[in-house]
Chains A and B, each alone.
Chain A
Amino acid sequence: METIVFYILAAVTLVGTVLAITARQGVHAIVYLVTSFFALALIFYLLGAPMVASFEVIIYAGAIMVLFLFVIMMLDLGKPEKIQTPKLYDWCPAILLLVVITGSMGVLASRAATPLNAFAGISVQEFSFTLFKRYGAAIEIISMQLLFALVGALYLGRRR
C-alpha cells in the first residue's frame, strides 16, 4: 500500500516540477511547483518525518511561494514570456544532462539494492534536539548568512 502511494506521489512530484520548469507563465509555474511541494511533503510523511512534512507545506509551499507570487504581481510579470524555439545548439546541455542521468541510473540499478532500516517516527523533541544541539553551530551560521543577505539586498537595492 505504502509503495503504491509512494510511486503515485513521486510521479506527481516529478511531473509537477517538469511542468513548473516548462511553464511559460510565471504564475502557472508557481502553482505547479506548489503541487510538487505538497506531494514531496507527503513523501516526507511516509518516511516518518511529520515535522519536515509540515515545514515543507508551511515554509516552502506557504511562505516562500506566496512571496514569489507577490513579487510577480508587484513587478507585473504576469504576461507569458516570449522565447524563440530552441536551436539545436541550445539542446546540448540538456543532452549532456540526459547522458549523465542515464549513466548514474545505470550504475545505481546495476547493484543490488539494500533495503534501509524501517523508519521509526521522529518526535518533535528529537527533531529539535538534533537541529539545535547537534547542528546548533550550523543554525548560527545560517542566521548570520541570512542577515547579511538581507543587508546586502537592501544596500544593493539602492543602485539606480
Chain B
Amino acid sequence: MSVADVLSVMPLILTGVGALLVLLLGPFLQRGLVYCLAVAAGTAAGVWGALYPASYTPAIPGISFSPLARYLVPIFCIAGVLTLLYSHGYNDRHRIEGEEYPATVLFGLFAMCVLPCATNLLTLFLALESIAFAFYILVAIDLNRAESGEAGLKYLLFGAVAAAFTAFGISLIFAGSGSLELSAALDFRNRAIMSAGWGMILIGIAFKLSLVPGHLWTPDVYQGAPAPVAGFLSTGSKVAAAAFLLLLLGVAAPARELHVPLFALSLLSMVLGNLAALRQNNIKRMLAYSSIAHMGYLTLALLTGTRDGYAAVLLYGAIYTAMNLAAFGAIAALSGDEERARMEEYSGVGYSAPFRAGVLALAMIALAGIPPTAGFMGKFFIFYSAVKGGEIALAIIGIISAAISAYFYLRVVVHLYMRPAETTPPQPASPAESAALFLSAAAIVVIGVFPNALLHYLGTVLR
C-alpha cells in the first residue's frame, strides 16, 4: 500500500478518523467545538473527494476511488455537513446532548463514502449495512420523545429484514457465479440462481429506497426522527441505496427478468406515493410519501438501462439531496421546543420568518418540479431518458402523478403566505442554520439554471 493509495482513500480516512476523534475528544471539549470538528472533517473529506483524481485501480483490495465515488462522495459530504449545521441549534433546543450524535453522523458519512468506492459485493453490503446502523441510532437519538424511540425500533425491524434479504441475495449470486467481484452480479450463466439472487436483492433495496410495497416504515420513521436526521435519511441513505443498484447493474441494461419487478415498483411508488401524500396533514409524513414517489421516478430512470437513464439517476440524486435537505432544514430551523408538525402551524410563518419560510417554499416548488428550480431539471431528464429508453407508458403515468403532486407541495406555500398566523412566531435562527439553508437554497437555484457543468461531469463518470 503506497502513499498514493492512502491519498486516494483520504475521504474515508478523514470521515472515519473524524468520527473516532469526535467520540474520544467529545467529553473534554465544548459542545460547539465538537460540532466544529465534525463539520471540518466532513468538509475536508468532501473537498478532497472533489479534487483528487479518480482511478479504477483498487487502492486497497475491495476499495477504489472510482469516478462514481468522486461524484458521490462530495454529495454525501455536503449532505452530512449540512445535517450537522442544522443539528447544532436543533439539538440545543431539543436537549439532545452528547458527542454521540455528531460522531454517529460522521460514521454514517464514512459508510456512505465507502459505498461508491466498493469493488466487491462484501464491501458493498457492509457499507450499506453500516449506513443503516448509523440511522438506527440517529432516528432514535431523541431520548425525550417516545415517538423517536418508536421510529427507531420500526426502522430497526424493517432494516434487519431488508438486510437479511439483501445478504441472502448476495449469497445466491455468490453461489451462482462463484465470485464476490461486482462483475459477478452480471454473470448470468446460472440463470435460475442468479435471478433468485437479484430478486432477493431487489426486495431488500425496495425497503431501503422505500419503494411500494416496501414503503410502510417511511412515514412513521420520518415523523418520529428529529428533522435534521430525517433530512439526512431521506437524502444520503436513499442516494446510497440507488448507488448500490447502479454499481450492481454496472452501467449495463438490467437483465430481462428485472424489468417486470422494476416496472411494478416504479409504477406503484409513483402513483401510491403521490396519492397518499395528498391526504397528509403532517408535513413530515407528507414529505415521506413524497420521497416514496421521488424514488419511483428514480427507479423509472434506472429501468431504462441506458446511459442517459443512469446519468439522470445520478443527477437526480444530487438535486434531490439539495431539495430535501432544504425542506427538512427549514423544518428544523423553524422548530421551537417542539417541531411544527401540522400544516396549520406553518400559517403566516412566511411573514414572521421570511428567510426560512422562503427556503421552505423554494424547496416545495423545487420538489413539485416547477422551473427554474433544480427539481424541474431533474424530472425533465428522468422523463426524457424514460421516453428515449422506450418506457413511454410509465413516463406518461409519472408525468401525470408529478402534476398531481403539485397540489400538496403548493399547499405548504399557501399556508406559509396566505393564511393568518395561528402559532407564536419562531425564534431567530442561528448563523449555522442560516448558512446551511442558504447553501441548500443556492444549490437548488444554481443546478436549476446551470445544469450543464454537472451533466458534463456525469458524462465522464459513466464510462
A interface residues (Cβ-Cβ under 8 A, vs B): 104, 107-108, 111, 133-138, 140-142, 144-145, 147-149, 151-152, 155-156, 158-160
**B42 located at the interface, meaning its Cβ lies under 8 Å from any Cβ of chain A in the complex:** no
* B60, closest chain A residue (CB): A137
**B129 located at the interface, meaning its Cβ lies under 8 Å from any Cβ of chain A in the complex:** yes
Q: Are B62 and A134 in contact (CB under 8 A)?
A: yes
Query: Given A108-B192, A142-B126, 15 other A-B contacts at CB below 8 A?
Result: A108-B193, A111-B192, A135-B62, A136-B60, A137-B123, A138-B62, A141-B123, A141-B126, A144-B107, A145-B126, A148-B103, A151-B103, A151-B137, A152-B100, A156-B149
The proximity string for B residues 190-215 relative to A, scoring 1 for CB distances below 8 Å and 0 otherwise, is 00110010000000000000000000
* B122, closest chain A residue (CB): A138
Within 8 A of A (CB), among B118-145: 122-123, 126-127, 129-130, 133-134, 136-137, 140-141, 143
* A152, closest chain B residue (CB): B137
Q: Are A107 and B192 in contact (CB under 8 A)?
A: yes
A-B contact count (CB 8 A): 78
Q: Which residues of A contact B114 (CB under 8 A)?
A: 137, 141
Q: Which residues of B contact A151 (CB under 8 A)?
A: 23, 100, 103-104, 137
Please report the C-alpha to C-alpha distance between residue A1 and residue B127 in the assembled complex, in whole angstroms.
42
Please report the C-alpha to C-alpha distance between residue A142 and residue B19 in the assembled complex, in whole angstroms.
15
Please report the C-alpha to C-alpha distance between residue A141 and residue B107 in the assembled complex, in whole angstroms.
10
Please report the C-alpha to C-alpha distance between residue A37 and residue B309 in the assembled complex, in whole angstroms.
47
Main secondary structure of the interface of B (DSSP, over half): helix
Q: Which residues of A contact B62 (CB under 8 A)?
A: 134-138
Main secondary structure of the interface of A (DSSP, over half): helix
Q: Which residues of A contact B140 (CB under 8 A)?
A: 156
Q: Are A144 and B19 in contact (CB under 8 A)?
A: yes
Q: Which residues of A contact B137 (CB under 8 A)?
A: 148, 151-152, 155-156
User: Given A138-B126, A141-B130, A142-B126: A158 and B60 within 8 A (CB)?
Assistant: no
* A107, closest chain B residue (CB): B192
**B369 located at the interface, meaning its Cβ lies under 8 Å from any Cβ of chain A in the complex:** no
Q: Are A155 and B98 in contact (CB under 8 A)?
A: yes
Please report the C-alpha to C-alpha distance between residue A133 and residue B100 in the assembled complex, in whole angstroms.
31
Please report the C-alpha to C-alpha distance between residue A155 and residue B97 in the assembled complex, in whole angstroms.
10
Q: Which residues of A contact B61 (CB under 8 A)?
A: 133-137
Q: Are B127 and A141 in contact (CB under 8 A)?
A: yes
Please report the C-alpha to C-alpha distance between residue A148 and residue B108 in the assembled complex, in whole angstroms.
10
Please report the C-alpha to C-alpha distance between residue A147 and residue B98 in the assembled complex, in whole angstroms.
16
Q: Are B133 and A148 in contact (CB under 8 A)?
A: yes
User: Given A136-B60, A137-B123: A155 and B130 within 8 A (CB)?
Assistant: no
Expressed in whole angstroms, the minimum distance between the Cβ of A138 and any Cβ of chain B is: 5
Pairs A–B under 8 Å by Cβ, sample size 7: A108-B193, A138-B62, A144-B107, A147-B20, A148-B130, A156-B140, A156-B152
* A137, closest chain B residue (CB): B62
Expressed in whole angstroms, the minimum distance between the Cβ of A48 and any Cβ of chain B is: 16
Most chain B beta-carbon contacts within 10 A, residue among A107, A108, A135, A141:
A141
**B376 located at the interface, meaning its Cβ lies under 8 Å from any Cβ of chain A in the complex:** no
Please report the C-alpha to C-alpha distance between residue A110 and residue B440 in the assembled complex, in whole angstroms.
56
Expressed in whole angstroms, the minimum distance between the Cβ of B202 and any Cβ of chain A is: 15
Most chain B beta-carbon contacts within 10 A, residue among A136, A149, A152, A159:
A152
**B236 located at the interface, meaning its Cβ lies under 8 Å from any Cβ of chain A in the complex:** no
Q: Are B111 and A141 in contact (CB under 8 A)?
A: yes
